[in-house]
A and B are shown apart, each in its own frame.
Chain A
Amino acid sequence: MKVTRRQFLKVTGATAATFAVVELGFDLNATASAIKELRTKNVTPVPTVCPYCASGCGLVVYSQTDSSGKYEKLLSIQGDPDNPINMGGACSKGAAMFNLREIYDPHNGEQVVNPKRVAKPLYRAPGSDKWEEKDWDWMLDEIAKRVKETRDASFIHKEKLEDGTEVIVNRTERIGSIGGSGLDNEECYLHSKLMRALGLVYLETQARI
């Protein structure tokens, strides 16, 4: 029998006082013994840090792996008891991190990938009212072309200064970049390096706002 979280809450809420077998339709004792073994037992937790606020709470990810060690699906994400900042605790957001990847289907209770996650690159043409799926190679090559076109058409190589001397300024003001505060350090670093090499000066992150 599959019970969604919503149904389970409804049932247990209604019968919390008695927990009678007749009302639930199944024997809780049998269920309890069946789940005595936590599904995270013998699974190595993988430490991570919360992606929400900047407090830096640690969490651990338990995933089911196949015989080759490849991750298959999530089992649980919970507070990291070893992390000295939160010592195993998690707020409502941290405790819901499981949903960033997987959810329980509201219709049948099956554990599935969160349908809101985007699994393929998407392209929206000028004036279009829909997204089209594209492959990575096409997307990245088109993006590279747009970057070069815009950069080359707008690039300011040299400028005359107030004191009359000419100086190399190597910038474009027609490309901008925003974001990055949700990225890892290594990602931010590479992005900062690339954008500046392209000559961007409109470069901003969420710290400003």
Chain B
Amino acid sequence: MVDLKNTDVALIMGSNAAENHPVSFRWLDRARQDRGAKIIHVDPRFTRTSAKADVYAPLRSGTDIAFLGGMIKYILENKLYHEAYVANYTNATFLIKEGFSFNDGIFSGYDPDKRAYDVSSWDYETDAEGSPVKDMTMTHPRSVLQLLKKHYSRYDIDTVCSITGTPKNKYMQVLETFCSTGAQDKTGTILYAMGITQHTVGSQNIRAFAIVQLLLGNMGRPGGGINALRGENNVQGATDMALLYHIIPGYITSPSNAPEHKDLTAFLTKETTKGYRSNTPKWVTSLLKAWWGDAATKNNDFGYHYLPKRDSKKNYSHIAMFEAMHKGEIDGLFVMGTNPVVGGPNANKEQEALCNLKWMVQADLWLNETADFWTYQAWERAVHNDKVDRKTPADIGTEVFFLPACAVFEKEGTAAQTGRWVQFRWKGAEPVGDSKADLWIVDQIATRVRKLYQGSTKPQDEPIVNLNWDYGHGHEPDIMKVALELNGYYLADNKPVPSFAKLMDDGTTACGCWVYCGCMGLTPTGELDYKPMHRDNKDNSKHGLGLFSNWAWSWPVNRRIVYNRCSVQPDGITPWPGDEKRALIQWDATAVGDPATGKLGKWVGDDVPDFNVTLAPEEPGGKNPFIMRPEGVGCIFAAKTSMKDGPFPEHYEPWESPTTNKINSQQNNPCVKVWEPDKQGNSKDFPYVATTYRVVEHWQTGALTRNLPWLSELMPDMFVEISEELAKEKNIKNGRKVIVSTSRGDISAVACVTKRLKPMNINGEIVHMVGAIWQFGFKGFATGDIANRLTPHIGCANSMCPEYKAFLCDIRRA
């Protein structure tokens, strides 16, 4: 967050940062004042962020790849890329083997029946030793740079603007301003939020950012990067801890019933790749030791079989879970501080799905809309619609257990913010009534379930019977015991493991999440030292870059800027010309690297090197800054299994779109899973592009804000925004009630007629937009209709993130 002050140009795209992450503007303003930085905002709607920007360009929701594809073409055509960076730190020089092709929206290897690719042709040409063949001149027709040039040759400015609806002069201004950061002494940063990810091409939108930033040499340098402005205070931490079906803690693929996962050896062979991930066996073994302690031995694969193995052919993501629940395939559900009746896509369907559960356990501060899904109030609807289910409490057999959780400052623990700083929060008030910390709740459920299984000798009960679960014997679980396990400890003496490099695969270390290894140290007197508690706020960097390395702790190993090997030239010694102050680390050939052998040479600097500290620049791999990648360099071409839907991002229209795809003849992303083909709205019945968003006064589903009098007073009612032109056409007056409908449901809301939205010219046709706040529901002090009753059950081909941000609707006076 603080690093934003080091930038020369900030591109904010798919985010209303000024409103939803206000503190970002403290640092963007600082960059503007101190460095003359420019701020660009690209968004369908003119927002508070646009008002604070130097350049604002509108685009039709769901056309980001067209917008960025044109930028890639512009960079390449005008040679604005950072050539030395591109040649050394990316795979632009790599040759792709013969057989790779792209034709009219489809890459080589597509199987239309499976709606999936055989990705074997998306691979590097290799030499006899298996190393990728490179052309340092980047002129070979099969070099990644030339393939990139060819791919985006179709994205000329006129075509792009006819797809996105962006006025050409505005588009040019964005291109000129942001691409100026390809200069060696400049860096540019990208900030995004859900406006980018919540699309059927969400992951490829991010890939397009990655290509732009690699071309301009903006990764791994202060004031650069691609910054996800995450929306929940510990969504980063929840992801680190793998509350997601496809991973186990530390971003390791979760086991499945595929033959290559059938035992620990097979699993480690499959999941251990070159580069830093070669340490995967140490991380997995240490995780198993943390979870099953003495019961995890070499003889039983360290308890590998205790981990559940998912069906490799099934998807278990949010949408898939609710589809299964709707079909009656799920009996029990835990709901931990979330609210799908407001926040889930296709909220009518998700609410119906909850009725098919036998039981639901919910922990929250408030009775939100999900807790009360069975009440009369929950089934009231704006208008009568035969296609939408209506129930009464008597129809609903779900047993609901509501567990009152206490507020953030009524307990203690850590949260990882959007830049991976893990900060401790102390307890500053007592829990309200009998409310409890979630830590206590989870510990209690675990203890009581384990009691029921006590003495069982069934093999299928071993994961529970043998579970290593002991967090103290007091009334509350001992948080330091949890933190020590998260960090990792030596089995021999229970002392914290100092860093993940020291974890072992022989069962002598236990570690709950390797990326957190190093967060626990020892004080000089031998007490546990939980580093997220550190509060030394002196900036330790020489040139005031704002690293604040002694404030809290950031993963991995307290590194503040990842890929920081990129902040110096390949020789490791020379900063980028004119950019001496932003060099984060440097190779010092005279410093003692290894005290044991006295070998000279190590990486030193303001930040913790994101590199093997004793690997000299001239040694093999010494110039490869992206250590988590097997290639060691940034991927302009996403080889093999990296992406499901193509090695380069390609524009496809949103699942519901007012127009046909102008750049290829594939209307939608050919790899998305279609859950409800009969619910695809068409532009005849639903002529307007709809999107959803948030306001500064409310947070997510509103549970933590619409229950507060002060915030309810500030933003009391649900509204939808439309342009003056559409209002005139539909005879809608500002402040009056309207009905918005899609093929999935209807809502009523106050119309906000505004200049912030403008009709767009999409390939010669006028397209109108409707914007809806999705943060209202029927509970709390401030209530309003649920916008997600409108949104579709369809997700990104890679991540299954729902396409909340672009769908079709109709609007009329109430």
Which residues of A line the B interface, CB within 8 A?
45-63, 70-74, 77, 82-87, 89, 91-93, 96-97, 99-101, 103-104, 106, 113-114, 116-129, 131, 136, 139-148, 150, 154-155, 157, 159, 161-163, 165, 167-209
Q: A48-B426, A114-B707 are in contact. Are A179 and B336 (CB under 8 A)?
A: yes
Q: A127-B394, A180-B336 are in contact. Are A191 and B442 (CB under 8 A)?
A: yes
B707 engages A91 (CB within 8 Å): no
Closest 5 CB pairs of A and B: A119-B433, A56-B417, A184-B413, A61-B428, A46-B428
Q: Is B10 an interface residue (CB 8 A)?
A: no
Mark contacts of B80-115 with chain A using CB atoms, 8 A cut-off: 1 yes-contact digit, 0 otherwise: 000000000000000000000000000000000000
| Closest residue on chain A to residue B18 by CB atoms | A91
Question: Is A194 touching B365 in the complex (CB atoms < 8 A)?
Answer: no
Which of A100, A106, A118, A181 has the most chain B CB within a 10 Å cutoff? Answer: A181
Instruction: Verify if B522 is at the interface (C-beta below 8 Å from A).
Output: no
Residues of A within 8 A of B248 (CB): 196
B325-362 residues at the A interface, CB under 8 angstroms: 325, 329-338, 340, 343-345, 358-359, 361
Assembly CA distance A195 to B321 (angstroms): 15
By the criterion CB–CB under 8 Å, are A124 and B445 in contact? no
Q: Which B39-89 residues have a C-beta within 8 angstroms of A? A: none
Kindly list 10 other residue pairs between chains A and B, CB separation below 8 angstroms, not including A114-B707, A117-B365, A167-B263: A48-B426, A73-B429, A117-B407, A124-B400, A147-B445, A150-B358, A177-B243, A178-B335, A184-B415, A209-B804
Residue of B nearest to A6 (CB): B713
B interface size (C-beta, 8 A): 167
B425 touching A190, Cβ below 8 Å: no
Asked whether A176 and B333 contact (CB < 8 A) given A74-B429, A85-B1, A199-B308, the answer is yes
Distance, CA A61 to CA B408, complexed state (A): 11
Q: Is B749 an interface residue (CB 8 A)?
A: no
**Chief secondary structure at chain A's binding surface:** mixed
Residues of A within 8 A of B26 (CB): 86-87, 89
Q: A174: shortest Cβ distance to chain B, in Å? A: 5
Q: Check if A124 sits within 8 Å of B399, measured CB to CB.
A: yes
From A168, which residue of chain B is reached at the shortest CB distance?
A: B305
Q: Which residue of A lies closest to B290 (CB)?
A: A193
By a CB distance below 8 angstroms, the chain A residues around B435 are 117-119
Q: A85-B2, A101-B429, A129-B376 are in contact. Are A193 and B403 (CB under 8 A)?
A: no
Q: Are B423 and A58 in contact (CB under 8 A)?
A: yes
Q: Does B459 interact with chain A (Cβ within 8 Å)?
A: yes
Is B693 close to A, CB under 8 A?
no
A176 touches B332 (CB 8 A): yes
Contact yes or no, B233 A118, CB < 8 A: no
Interface centre among A71, A131, A206 (most CB of B within 10 A): A206
Q: Given A89-B26, A186-B439, A207-B238, A179–B710 Cβ distance below 8 Å?
A: no
> What residues of chain B lie closer than 8 Å to A206, measured between beta carbons?
231-232, 235, 238, 338, 343, 700
Chain B, residue nearest A72 (CB): B430
Among B232, B307, B317, find the residue whose CB has the most chain A CB atoms closer than 10 A. B232
Instruction: Given A89-B23, A182-B234, verify A174-B330 contact (CB < 8 Å).
Output: yes
Q: How far is the CA of A204 from the CA of B800 in the complex (A)?
A: 11
- Stretch of B163-171, B448-456, B653-661, B763-771 on the interface side: B448-456
| Alpha-carbon separation in the docked complex, A90 to B661 (Å) | 44
Q: Which residues of B contact A126 (CB under 8 A)?
A: 396-399
> Which residue of chain B has the shortest Cβ distance to A191 in the bound complex?
B442
Asked whether A85 lies within 8 Å of B238 as measured between CB atoms, the reply is: no
* Interface members, chain B 405-463 (any A CB < 8 Å): 407-419, 421-430, 432-439, 442-446, 448-449, 451-453, 459-460, 463
Among residues of B, the one whose C-beta sits closest to the C-beta of A74 is B429
A185 touches B237 (CB 8 A): yes
Given contacts A146-B358, A186-B413, contact A119 B334 (CB under 8 A): no
Residue among A72, A120, A185 with max Cβ neighbours from chain B (10 Å): A185
Nearest CB of chain B from residue A173's CB, rounded to whole Å: 7
Could you say which of B344, B375, B463, B464 contacts A209, with CB atoms under 8 Å apart?
A: B344
The contact string, 1 if C-beta is below 8 Å from chain A, for chain B 384-397, is 00000000111111
Q: Which residue of A lies closest to B444 (CB)?
A: A140
The contact of A121 among B375, B401, B417, B423, by CB within 8 Å, is: B401
In Å, the complex CA distance between A157 and B434 comes to 38
